[in-house]
Structure 1
């Protein structure tokens, strides 16, 4: 549920006088500003969050304010504690984050967002100046030890042009989550970038799954209006997802890890076997569908929450079949007790690739993937036992901190022959690939899997750089990675 709003009269001013780890206070107040472009509401909603890692004795706390984007007031990013935590932890060393926005309606109905016109820079600066007296009252006392403090202002920007909620669901494991159709900024008039997304309330700034969204328009109803808002207003308008194309960059890089074992995949196929993949974490099922339909792999997926699986089926076109098997269970329990069966029900030796796309269920200290309890030598040994001797373990990694990353790589390096890294370029995700034997990649013109990879993820190969890790893990220079 959205955090309830409290009248300002019940908020004791002394609560803001000191930085208190993870303290989160929200309240409403009559709008004192003379600014009707960005904050036009009669009532404002304010939220004050102290960092979970802040030190109470810090004599130079960093206080940051952010204006909630207009029309985004009901977005979980801006009206939940989990969203505030993720916003705070995306930047270094913030002691307190203050969000100011229009007070959202209690029952907003179907959540639709349309990007407002760009605000003039002078208007933004005028609003910042008007907010300064209010923000001074929300600074801790220690901020005034060296004179009047200066509040930093952050501007929230993303690529969202239009969004409509398709479904809101509550899972018994993951909690509330949303299925959304969105239009992204950019794209030509005839080729708008439309996506279907899956987001969890526990980590609202993270897009769990994303797929290409395709409008189904009758030839007689062809129109030059290809924006999502216009398409949805068309009578009988329908949409479907296309999982033949990957649109999330880190997922593309996970699939690119197959380049390291394409010769092995070909050999398995020539021996009369379909190569087999184990995917820990299903989400919208986009990766599993792609591996099956485009790469010809038989796939076993593991998902802890049946509600997520139902959403994947209803909204992302995910279909179980003889070639796609699903296990509804905790991933840690599955890898410890797994008895690999092929789709025909006969014993099969190993998986040719294991892909791990799991995140922590507890985001109070920041988002990380995989969960901290996953980064253990015993877990990696269990995964190794499920892999063919020429197989690959591919992990989506968002490090909680530098120790998290170095521990993960070091533990993998003690078990596997080689460990590789792909920098996804977004300063958050990178993909770690561990293989049990020397790379079997090669420019084999007769390799069906190599050709499929080249055709389905063009532009990724040969430009993806794999970095074999040698020597001490602490000496590795990983560019563009920001540790929270």
Structure 2
């Protein structure tokens, strides 16, 4: 089926077209894969078009080979059209990657893509004087130096998922991590844990390396701030004769659950809607279902509502940690889902808290307006609100208490608080900010 040149003259919201194009610069005349995606938002400026050159060797990565990955890339910029250009994938599924096997400098092909990019530019971008607009050709960059596919599997709720070992390099510092990614939102790392090579003399082939998990540190950007959020009730937890109890809504790889259990001596209940995700967490991320970690394959919102309906003292928690993200790919990375923010759900969450309990929620606001609405919804149900900026330009941690916490930010000593400060990296505890009822959140 051939494409008409006029196909690309107009922006059609969410239209996704892929095709192959002869690569005359390759001595075997391999084909290029071209993917063109128009923004879901009709309000986006019509002339804002850019292209990304897919990193050689990563053409099969879901980030570059799927609609959902392409959409996430587009939504990070105010673009009306994003064009991906790269070699045709060698495999229908992601494969292991080694950056040292691929050139990083611009190729003659990349320098001669102007005619193709011009043909894929919306007509509205052309000026009245006939001048041809220049479409910027961006180069995708991240910290991944190598990747090794551990397993690709599928869950009944989240769909296809990928477990991979990656070698990262940042400012010359090398680190290895195990990651969990979902195909429905592949650019977003659902879970990750630091891993340490065992008895290795060469780091060339990641596929052949053996690793052990490092469960003593949290590497997911927002998890340290989430744990730091518990500090607002540290006075209540000091001197307790019984073990504190936490409910984690959203398990992923289980790094947060294991950290609360091992480092802070919590009894933890973890709720994850997809049973396959729980199996992955146990098999590849060291999550244990034992006398202090209890796992349930259920919808987190329904679990909370059912507990609230059949409330007993054993069902109350000191901390509820909410790490739920929206499954709506069209809005990009967004947390928590709108279903969680319904007043009936927040009231159920409040009901299963101890009187001095705290709710700590990872938020990825898609806009300042939506974050302000989130604050308003929580404010109607909870007594006090606090926040932590995770510092990555994406995540804010919202902290809500069931009752007034006297001098919550002034506590500076105590066994629990001292332990918390020793295991939470950075200055997140000191950066907690109370959100006054008359002030805007720091977004």
With normalisation by structure 2, the TM-score equals: 0.92
Query: Given that residues 308 and 351 in structure 2 are in contact (C-alpha distance below 8 angstroms), is that contact kept between their aligned partners in structure 1?
Result: no
Residues 118 and 442 of structure 1, relative CA distance in 2, 3 Å threshold: farther
Equivalent of 1:263 in 235, 241, 246 = 235
CA distance in 2, matches of 1:315, 1:291: 19
Give secondary structure in 2 for the equivalent of 1:283: coil
Give secondary structure in 2 for the equivalent of 1:431: strand
Query: Given that residues 187 and 193 in structure 1 are in contact (C-alpha distance below 8 angstroms), is that contact kept between their aligned partners in structure 2?
Result: no
Query: Given that residues 30 and 42 in structure 1 are in contact (C-alpha distance below 8 angstroms), is that contact kept between their aligned partners in structure 2?
Result: yes
Residues 140 and 173 of structure 1, relative CA distance in 2, 3 Å threshold: same
CA distance in 2, matches of 1:327, 1:99: 40
Query: Given that residues 154 and 276 in structure 2 are in contact (C-alpha distance below 8 angstroms), is that contact kept between their aligned partners in structure 1?
Result: yes
Residues 241 and 209 of structure 1, relative CA distance in 2, 3 Å threshold: same
Unaligned stretches of 5+ residues in structure 1: 1-8, 479-484
Query: Given that residues 60 and 91 in structure 2 are in contact (C-alpha distance below 8 angstroms), is that contact kept between their aligned partners in structure 1?
Result: no
Is 2:379 the counterpart of 1:391? no
Is 2:85 the counterpart of 1:100? yes
* Structure 1 counterpart of 2:432: 466
* Structure 2 counterpart of 1:279: 248
CA distance in 2, matches of 1:307, 1:423: 32
* Structure 1 counterpart of 2:138: 154
Is 2:65 the counterpart of 1:86? no
With normalisation by structure 1, the TM-score equals: 0.85
Is 2:152 the counterpart of 1:193? no
Question: 1:457 Cα deviation (Å)?
Answer: 1.7
* Structure 2 counterpart of 1:481: none
CA distance in 2, matches of 1:250, 1:476: 18
* Structure 1 counterpart of 2:35: 47
Q: 1:292-317 CA distances to partner (integer Å, 9 max, x unpaired)?
A: 11110001111000000000000000
* Structure 2 counterpart of 1:113: 97
Equivalent of 1:454 in 418, 421, 429 = 421
Query: Given that residues 264 and 420 in structure 2 are in contact (C-alpha distance below 8 angstroms), is that contact kept between their aligned partners in structure 1?
Result: yes
* Structure 2 counterpart of 1:213: 195
* Structure 2 counterpart of 1:6: none
Residues 314 and 301 of structure 1, relative CA distance in 2, 3 Å threshold: same
CA distance in 2, matches of 1:458, 1:405: 26
Give secondary structure in 1 for the equivalent of 2:264: coil
Residues 349 and 80 of structure 1, relative CA distance in 2, 3 Å threshold: closer
1:130-209 aligned within 5 A = 130-146=112-128, 147=130, 148-186=132-170, 192-209=174-191
Query: Given that residues 41 and 102 in structure 1 are in contact (C-alpha distance below 8 angstroms), is that contact kept between their aligned partners in structure 2?
Result: no
Unaligned stretches of 5+ residues in structure 2: none
Q: 1:267-326 CA distances to partner (integer Å, 9 max, x unpaired)?
A: 4x23xx211100000000110011011110001111000000000000000001111111
CA distance in 1, matches of 2:18, 2:357: 51
Query: Given that residues 340 and 350 in structure 1 are in contact (C-alpha distance below 8 angstroms), is that contact kept between their aligned partners in structure 2?
Result: no
Query: Given that residues 263 and 442 in structure 1 are in contact (C-alpha distance below 8 angstroms), is that contact kept between their aligned partners in structure 2?
Result: no
Query: Given that residues 292 and 323 in structure 1 are in contact (C-alpha distance below 8 angstroms), is that contact kept between their aligned partners in structure 2?
Result: yes
1:370-381 aligned within 5 A = 370-381=336-347
CA distance in 1, matches of 2:178, 2:411: 35
Q: 1:332-386 CA distances to partner (integer Å, 9 max, x unpaired)?
A: 11111116999xxx85252000010011111123221111222222221111111
Residues 175 and 232 of structure 1, relative CA distance in 2, 3 Å threshold: closer
Query: Given that residues 21 and 55 in structure 1 are in contact (C-alpha distance below 8 angstroms), is that contact kept between their aligned partners in structure 2?
Result: no
CA distance in 2, matches of 1:187, 1:98: 30
CA distance in 2, matches of 1:314, 1:341: 33
Question: 1:327 Cα deviation (Å)?
Answer: 1.5
Alignment length (residue pairs): 438
Give secondary structure in 2 for the equivalent of 1:204: coil
